[in-house]
Structures are given as C-alpha cells and as structure tokens.
Amino acid sequence: MKKKKIEGLTILGGRGIPVPGSPADAPLECFDNSHPDRDYEITFDCPEFTSLCPVTGQPDFGSIRITYVPDRRCIESKSLKLHLHSFRNHNSFHEEVVNMIRDAIVAAAAPRSLEVEGSFRPRGGISIKVKASYVKKGEHR
C-alpha cells in the first residue's frame, strides 16, 4: 500500500537535489488524492520567495501563498519547494511569476480550484500584490 502512495515521486526522499536553474527545469510532482470524493483546501505558504527583476536583474523578495482544492491529484510539497526556489535565478515581472506558478499547478494537478497570491516587498516605494485564480470547468466556486 505504501509503495502505491509514493509511486512516481522522484524528488521526495532524495538527498542533495540541487535547486533547478529555472522554473522550466523544476517539474511539479503529484500523488493520488486519498479523498477525491470530498472538497477540502490545501494551503502552501512560501514567505521567503525570491525572483529577479527582468529590467535590473536585482532580487525581488516576497511571499507566495497557494490555496487549492484537489481533485484526483495532490501536489507533493518538496517538488513545489524546488519549483518556487527555481525562480530565484529567473527574471520575471511579479505578474508573470504568479501566473507561471498558477499554470504549472493546473498542468500538474488539475485541481478543482486554485488561487495563487504573490505579495511582493516594495520596489521603488510600491509593494505589489498579484492574485491568479483557476476553477475547473463544471465546478462552481
């Protein structure tokens, strides 16, 4: 039974796995939802998120909060951690970062609903919050 639960997970339990150089090199892994018959929320908080400004190349700091209702698959947290950390070497506007994370989760896990919120520290005296949502077709949330 235990073997089936971790089938297909290659990152969990691995030691010395380096942070991928870009989000494209940091695939999200998933496992089967043990309760696909019910709605429940899962929330991930990444309070030390870093990416690079696409204009200056300077680091941008913020936090990412991901809240989703899984369908058949749940996101494995270590692969998510590496995916999020891969942005520290990636030049992107905040709006692009949040939408890239949203799209990666939808592609990997096909959740019933999803909200990705980025709250970025001030740059030039202005802080930025970006929220990208997703609701699976046929779901009403």
Active-site residue list: 53, 60
CA distance linking residue 115 with residue 134, whole number of Å? 6
**76 strand-pairing partners:** none
Q: The tokens 């696909």 sit on which residue?
A: 36
Contact 110, 135 (CB under 8 A): no
25: phi > 0 → left, psi -120 to 50 → alpha, else beta; which? alpha
Where does residue 116 rank: exposed (0-12), middle (13-18), buried (19+ CB within 10 A)?
buried
